[in-house]
């Protein structure tokens, strides 16, 4: 089984990286971009377990390590 | 030697570099803004200094490598003229495709600020003619992402062509993983392009140029460049 | 009064006693507000009052005591009350510096809390027109065995480094300590130092009516709303829930802001400038107006916002970082704007100065606040809180402490303890050489940083011994100043002035208030005696969790001047066969010593007393030896005592020493490990010893030879030699092993 955990900044939290990237895209002449916010993607291979158990484990992983829940949100997807 | 120091937003060692260039070449470098599209006329040496261009956001050097001035730097390099990138400058040159490989996060995942020892691998380059081959110099490093990585083929090519100019070494010049703190492949601290006219290096020779500040091991690089340009002239 | 509008408060919640309490205002304080403005405040106004009247901004508990500190000297250009203190260093230059805490935010989110602490203090310095040249950081953490400690150390150190390294200022010194009393409240005290032209200092005071007020820097978001109130509240088990107020630092924007500010200052565009720190727009706008006896009219519709739908309340209380407020010369507005645009920063005219002395805030066509501007600051409550003096601890006689182990074994153990071991793991994560002016790197008594191209240099330090302050606040306060003065002296600097960062528990408890009052008295006495005025500072109270306060920690940041950095000293031995001299008197004071605490398990007794006349006499003598290039190495004696100081000199050089001194009057372990004050160890050429001792006799300074450098071992009289290399290995081991999690028993 494969899974993907996506970590993004909570809305309202300043994203200096996203801001700098947004400015750079504008400098490169790429049009139509209103704003950019960046995050992290973790592709995770699951050794074994049922879908619900895996989701619980990954949520725990995100809470404890992958995301800084002070400033970040996360999303867990178990891929088919 | 007429030098130009390129300044990107977030670069922060441009003053250190300008001071070293002036001290050793006797001539104030021009400071060139990232949004400019041309280098000052008759520039001999382009320097991309250290710092955190664009905050190192996205990837180190990624945004700076795409700035307007970089086309002029590329043209300068393509004509065989000299380009030096130090620290963030090295990262920018890699991102700009002027040097192969990439600088990854330090092995221990921590920023490292301390003096390290470099073994000068050859002295027949314009960048190292101020040193002897095999000489060991002490130079500070200050980076979080200085772990040089390239694929096996690229590394082999760099080695075969003698393009590694500086390697992290023990104080006696021997290669020792304990002294390769950022974990760079083949202990690489500095490489040149195929033409030998573009050098990228992580350590900061510009911070070791004044005797009263305790160490002058970085002088050789700048003095060698001045000499190389004088001879060429 | 020229006009008086009752604010319309459409869409704002009604004021209830609960809402007032949530804003950290006591009922009598709320009554005071009503009396002052003659009506109920609007919601936005309540927010403004809470920001202006909390402890962090108003110093309401400490003010009456802070006023007793000496702040003047002929070399002081600006004392407390501005963004930072300013001191003349000659040649038309001034040093600008301040220390400030970011304790609560760092405990909640260590990386961002520490990073924004560094960012805030850097802004304080460059707001005054100075280019930052160095940072220092004094950090206090809980017991190493506490489950949260390692996480906090790791995050805070990374945050301090992450911000300073990227901004481009060397972090050259500081302190790191561990004690169980910081388990629930770590301390992050950041100090920044900058250099400016002495006649080009910029202040917050606005002048002129109708002048444009300009907002500069990053956009405003909902970050840190009520951060200043958080910094003035005690922690409890619900503190985790307070997390959303944490701000995120952007050193990249700050670096741009620095360059842009210095550029417009050089072009004479600026009348007044104030950084938006705690309570952001509110504090900065009020201060600029109040200091200039002017009113301020703000139009929030013009404030650059990062998020949609921000209310007036949110904008006034946001603590988004990397922002500034300026009053510009109207004719220079276009020029200033062009500079800011070049650096990619926001620039917006958000208001103007008025003759009314009122603070008017408009948003969406409504007046959201209309308050008397001077009273917002001046009429903040001032408390003379009741206090009790700490009980005096008994003096512990040297003979009353039996030595548990040999002196050599004691040294081996002490230098490997959390309190005394090497801090290399910390400062190697800080870029300490950037700008190319760091003459003395971290690890010595004080950092030495060259000014411009020299030969002048500054000596910089941050110091305090909290266990002394706990045992005797008055002596502890004196000692903190004396220790900072000594650090500067030991590198050859002439001490100039200090910044104090007073970290204490809940001042509403008389015993905590007693600590605060005692420490301030001690600081005042020492600063007066040593002509070492306080030019800036910060107070951080309510550092306690579930009723348990931190150790009283009045961190003293200090700056000294070297006329020629080539005439300075480092602590490393320079060669063998040199005489080791002890300057100062040794009585073997073991009370509150690390020997007593870490080897005998007794954290007790009166701390060593500080005699300020002796301090000055001994220090002046040590400094002369440095300036005349007689001393080859100098180190002040502090934590751990004499033998630890000598071991540090040996470890820094790899050169050993044979010690010969014995004391007939006191037990040898008290001689080697007592923490008597006003002492230095110096090395000199052996032939110079007699002349120095004669000269010291005339100056009334006790100097004696205690040994000779040389070899690769350190030998204490009558004991087995200790290999310097092995000592160094122990000294360097603890912190990296602890942080890597490889210590079995931290």
Q: Please answer yes or no on whether B63 and A38 come within 8 Å at the CB atom.
A: no
Is residue C218 within 8 angstroms of chain A, CB to CB?
Answer: yes
C-beta atoms of C430 and B113 within 8 A: yes
Nearest C-alpha in A relative to C224: A13
Distance (Å) from the C-alpha of residue C497 to the closest C-alpha of chain B? 26
Neighbours of chain C (3+ CB pairs under 8 A): A, B
Beta-sheet pairing, B198-201 with B82-86: parallel
Residue C616: name the closest of C516, C527, C537 by CA: C527
pLDDT score recorded for residue C233: 57
Using alpha carbons only, give the angle A5, A8, A11 rounded to the nearest 5 degrees: 145
Contacts of A20 in chain C (CB under 8 A): 252
Q: Are C730 and C651 in contact (CB under 8 A)?
A: no
Pairwise CB contact (< 8 Å): B113 & C427: yes
B58 and A38: CB-CB below 8 Å? yes
CB pairs under 8 A between A and C: 38
Top residue of A20, A21, A28, A36 to mutate, by most chain B CBs within 10 Å, is: A20
Identify which of C427, C429, C430 has the alpha carbon closest to the alpha carbon of residue C444: C427
* Distance of alpha carbon C443 from alpha carbon C450, whole angstroms: 17
Chains contacting B with at least 3 CB pairs below 8 Å?
Answer: A, C
Q: In 10 A of CB A35, how many CB atoms?
A: 9
Contact indicator for A15, C252 with CB cutoff of 8 Å: no
Q: Distance between CA atoms of C294 and C374, rounded to whole angstroms?
A: 9
Measure in Å the smallest separation between the Cα of C248 and chain A Cα atoms: 6
Distance, CA of C720 to CA of C704 (rounded, Å): 23
Domain count, chain A: 1
Q: Report pLDDT digits (tens) over B43-97.
A: 999 999 999 999 998 889 999 999 999 999 999 999 999 999 999 999 999 999 9
Residue with tokens 């200022």: C169
- Interface contact flag, B66 A27, Cβ < 8 Å: yes
pLDDT(B4) > 60 = yes
Chain A residues near residue C112 by CB distance under 8 angstroms: 70-71
Rounded to the nearest angstrom, the minimum Cα separation between C439 and chain B is 6
Residue C75 has phi, psi (to 5 degrees) of -90, 0
Option in A16, A20, A70 nearest C108 (CB): A70
Domain that holds residue B222: 3-232
Closest CA relative to residue C243, chosen from C220, C223, C221, C271: C223
* Cβ-based interface (< 8 Å): residues of B facing C: 9-10, 12-13, 15-16, 19-20, 50-52, 54-57, 110-114, 140, 142, 144, 204, 206-207, 210, 212-214
**β-pair type (C76-78, C85-90):** antiparallel
Q: What is the pLDDT of residues C483-513, one digit of tens each?
A: 999 999 999 999 999 999 999 999 999 999 9
Query: Could you tell me the CATH number of the domain that includes residue A13?
Result: 3.30.1280.10
Query: How does pLDDT run across B91-142, given as a tens digit for each residue?
Result: 999 999 999 999 999 998 899 999 999 999 999 999 999 999 999 999 999 9
Residues of B with CB under 8 A from a CB of A: 54-55, 57-58, 63, 66-68
DSSP C54: S
CA distance C257 to chain A (A): 14
Q: Which residues of C11-49 are buried (b: 16+ CB within 10 A; e: fewer)?
A: ebeebeeeebeebbbeeebbebbeeebeeebbbbbbbbb
User: Does residue C368 contact residue C282 with C-beta atoms inside 8 Å?
Assistant: no
| CB contacts, 8 Å: B60 with chain A | none
Which residue in chain A has the smallest CA separation from B35? A27
Whether B201 contacts B89, CB under 8 Å? no
Q: Name the minimum distance, in Å, from the CA of C297 to any CA of chain B.
A: 34
Residue % of chain A over a pLDDT of 90: 30
Q: What are phi and psi of C370, to 5 degrees?
A: -150, 95
Nearest CA in chain B to C161: B111
**A:B CB pairs within 8 Å:** 23
Quote the DSSP letter at residue A15.
-
Instruction: Judge contact between C435 and C133, C-beta under 8 A.
Output: yes
Q: Which two tokens stand for residue C605?
A: 């007794």
B95 is known as an active-site residue: no
Q: Give whole-number Cα distances, C536 to B143, C192, C497, C556, in Å.
A: 33, 11, 9, 11
Q: What is the pLDDT of residue C352?
A: 95
CA dihedral in degrees (C570, C571, C575, C579; nearest 10)?
120
Residue B181 has pLDDT above 80, yes or no: yes
CB contact under 8 A, A17 and B55: yes
ipTM, two decimals:
0.95
Chain length of chain C: 746
Nearest C-alpha in A relative to C222: A12
Query: C423 with C732: CB under 8 angstroms?
Result: no
Query: Which residues in chain A touch residue B57, judged by CB atoms under 8 angstroms apart?
Result: 16-17, 20-21, 38
Q: Closest Cα of chain A to B92: distance in Å?
A: 15
Cβ–Cβ below 8 Å for C252 and B15: no
How far is it, in rounded angstroms, from Cα C137 to Cα C134? 10
Cross-chain residue pair A27–B55, CB shorter than 8 Å: no
* Residue owning tokens 């005690």: C234
What does each C-alpha distance from B17 to B83, B209, B220, C161, C437 come to in angstroms? 13, 10, 14, 22, 13
Count of CB atoms situated within 10 Å of the CB of C367:
18
Q: Which residue has the higher pLDDT, B29 or C663?
A: B29
The confidence band for A12, taking pLDDT boundaries of 50, 70 and 90, is confident
Specify the 3-state DSSP secondary structure of C247.
Answer: coil
pLDDT of residue C1: 34
Cβ–Cβ gap B57/A28 under 8 Å: no
What are the residue ranges in chain C where pLDDT is below 50? 1-5, 228, 231, 240-244, 746
Measured between beta carbons, which residues in chain B are less than 8 angstroms from residue C321? none
Torsion angle, alpha carbons of C600, C603, C604, C607, to 10: 100
Q: What CATH number is given to the structural domain containing B30? A: 3.40.50.880
Kindly list the residues from chain C whose CB atom is less than 8 angstroms away from the CB atom of residue A23: 344
Question: Which residues of C are the active-site residues?
Answer: 56, 102
Q: Given B57, B67, B68, which is nearest A16 (Cβ)?
A: B57
Write out the residue range of the structural domain in which residue A33 sits: 2-79
Chain A residues whose CB is inside 8 A of the C253 CB are 16, 19
**How many domains does the structure of chain B reveal?**
1
Assess contact for C674 and C410: CB atoms under 8 A: no
Interchain contact, C161 vs B204, CB within 8 Å: no
Annotated active-site residue in B87, B94, B143, B145: B87
Peptide bond into C455 cis (omega under 30): yes
- On whether the pTM is more than 0.80, the answer is yes
């Amino acid at each position: 089984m494969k899974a993907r955990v996506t970590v993004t900044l909570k809305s309202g939290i300043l994203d200096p990286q996203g801001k700098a990237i947004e400015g750079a895209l504008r400098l490169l002449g790429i049009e139509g971009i209103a704003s950019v916010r960046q995050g992290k993607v973790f592709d995770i291979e699951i050794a074994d377990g049922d879908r619900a158990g895996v989701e619980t484990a990954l949520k725990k992983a995100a809470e404890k390590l992958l995301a800084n829940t002070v400033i970040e949100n996360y999303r867990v997807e178990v891929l088919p | 030697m007429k030098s130009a120091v390129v300044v990107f937003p977030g670069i922060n060692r441009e003053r250190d570099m300008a001071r070293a260039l002036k001290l050793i070449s006797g001539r104030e470098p021009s400071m060139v803004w990232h949004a400019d599209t041309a280098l000052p006329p008759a520039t001999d040496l382009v320097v991309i200094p250290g710092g955190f261009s664009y905050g190192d956001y996205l990837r180190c050097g990624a945004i700076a490598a795409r700035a307007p001035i970089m086309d002029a730097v590329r043209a300068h390099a393509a004509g065989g003229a000299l380009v030096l990138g130090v620290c963030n400058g090295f990262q920018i040159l890699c991102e700009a495709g002027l040097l192969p490989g990439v600088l990854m996060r330090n092995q221990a995942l921590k920023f490292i600020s301390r003096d390290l020892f470099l073994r000068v691998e050859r002295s027949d380059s314009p960048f190292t003619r101020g040193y002897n081959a095999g000489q060991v110099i002490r130079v500070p490093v200050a980076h979080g992402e200085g772990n040089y990585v390239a694929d096996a083929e690229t590394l082999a090519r760099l080695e075969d062509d003698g393009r590694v100019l500086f390697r992290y070494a023990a104080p006696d010049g021997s290669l020792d993983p304990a002294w390769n703190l950022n974990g760079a492949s083949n202990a690489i601290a500095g490489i040149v392009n195929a033409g030998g006219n573009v050098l990228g290096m992580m350590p900061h020779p510009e911070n070791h140029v004044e005797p009263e500040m305790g160490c002058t091991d970085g002088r050789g690089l700048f003095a060698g460049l001045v000499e190389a340009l004088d001879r060429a002239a | 009064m020229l006009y008086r509008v009752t604010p319309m408060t459409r869409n704002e919640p009604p004021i209830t006693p609960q809402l007032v309490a949530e804003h950290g205002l006591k009922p009598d304080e709320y009554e005071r507000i009503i009396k002052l403005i003659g009506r109920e405040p609007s919601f936005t106004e309540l927010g403004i009052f809470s920001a202006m009247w909390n402890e962090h901004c108003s110093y309401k508990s400490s003010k009456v005591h802070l006023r007793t500190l000496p702040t003047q000297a002929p070399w002081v250009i600006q004392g407390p009350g501005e963004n930072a203190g300013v001191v003349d260093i000659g040649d038309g230059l001034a040093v600008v510096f301040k220390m400030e805490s970011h304790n609560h935010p760092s405990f909640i989110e260590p990386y961002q809390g520490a990073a924004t602490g560094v960012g805030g203090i850097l802004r304080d310095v460059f707001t005054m027109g100075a280019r930052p040249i160095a940072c220092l950081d004094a950090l206090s953490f809980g017991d190493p065995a506490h489950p949260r400690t390692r996480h906090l150390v790791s995050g805070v150190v990374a945050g301090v480094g992450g911000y300073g390294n990227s901004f481009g200022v060397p972090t050259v010194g500081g302190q790191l300590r561990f004690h169980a009393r910081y388990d629930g409240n770590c301390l992050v005290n950041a100090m920044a130092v900058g250099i400016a032209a002495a006649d080009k200092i910029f202040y917050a005071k606005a002048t002129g009516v109708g002048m444009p007020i300009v907002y500069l820097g990053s956009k405003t978001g909902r970050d840190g709303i009520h951060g200043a109130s958080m910094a003035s509240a005690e922690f409890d088990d619900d503190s985790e829930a307070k997390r959303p107020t944490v701000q995120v630092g952007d050193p990249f924007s700050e670096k741009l802001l620095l360059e842009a500010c210095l550029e417009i200052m050089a072009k004479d565009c600026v009348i007044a400038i104030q950084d938006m720190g705690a309570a952001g727009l509110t504090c900065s706008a009020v201060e600029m107006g109040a200091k200039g006896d002017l009113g301020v009219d703000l139009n929030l519709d013009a404030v650059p916002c990062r998020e949609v739908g921000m209310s007036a309340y949110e904008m006034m209380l946001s603590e988004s970082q990397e922002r500034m407020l300026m009053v510009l010369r109207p004719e220079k507005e276009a020029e200033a704007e062009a500079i800011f645009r070049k650096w990619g920063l926001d620039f917006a005219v958000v208001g103007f100065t008025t003759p009314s002395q009122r603070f008017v805030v408009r948003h969406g066509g409504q007046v959201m606040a209309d308050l008397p501007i001077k009273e917002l600051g001046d009429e903040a409550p001032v408390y003379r809180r009741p206090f009790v003096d700490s009980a005096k601890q008994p003096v512990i006689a040297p003979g009353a402490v039996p030595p548990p182990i040999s002196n050599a074994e004691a040294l081996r153990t002490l230098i490997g303890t959390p309190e005394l071991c090497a801090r290399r793991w910390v400062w190697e994560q800080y870029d300490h050489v950037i700008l190319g002016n760091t003459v003395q790197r971290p690890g010595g008594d004080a950092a030495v940083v060259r000014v411009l191209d020299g030969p002048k240099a500054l000596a910089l330090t941050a110091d305090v011994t909290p266990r002394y302050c706990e045992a005797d606040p008055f002596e502890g306060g004196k000692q903190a100043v004396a220790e900072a003065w000594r650090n500067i002296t030991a590198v050859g600097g002439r001490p100039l002035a200090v910044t104090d960062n007073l970290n204490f528990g809940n001042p509403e408890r008389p015993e905590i208030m007693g600590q605060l009052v005692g420490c301030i008295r001690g600081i005042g006495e020492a600063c007066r005696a040593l002509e070492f005025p306080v030019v800036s500072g910060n107070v951080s109270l309510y550092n306690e969790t579930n009723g348990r306060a931190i150790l009283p920690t009045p961190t003293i940041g200090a700056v000294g001047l070297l006329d020629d950095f080539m005439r300075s000293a480092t602590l490393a031995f320079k060669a063998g066969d040199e005489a080791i001299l002890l300057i100062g008197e040794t009585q073997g004071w073991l009370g509150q010593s690390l020997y007593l605490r870490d080897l005998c398990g007794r954290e007790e007794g009166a701390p060593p007393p500080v005699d300020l006349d002796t301090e000055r006499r001994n220090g002046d003598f040590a400094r002369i030896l440095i300036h005349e290039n007689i001393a080859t190495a100098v180190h002040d004696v502090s934590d751990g005592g004499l033998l630890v100081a000598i071991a540090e000199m040996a470890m820094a050089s790899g050169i050993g020493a044979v010690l010969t001194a014995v004391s007939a009057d006191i037990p040898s372990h008290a001689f080697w490990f007592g923490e008597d004050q006003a002492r230095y160890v110096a090395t000199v050429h052996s032939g110079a010893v007699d002349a120095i001792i004669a000269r010291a006799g005339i100056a009334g300074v006790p100097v004696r030879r205690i040994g000779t450098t040389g070899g690769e071992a350190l030998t204490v009289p009558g004991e087995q030699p200790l290999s310097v290399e092995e000592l160094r290995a122990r000294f360097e081991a603890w912190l990296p092993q602890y942080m890597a999690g490889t210590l079995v028993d931290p």
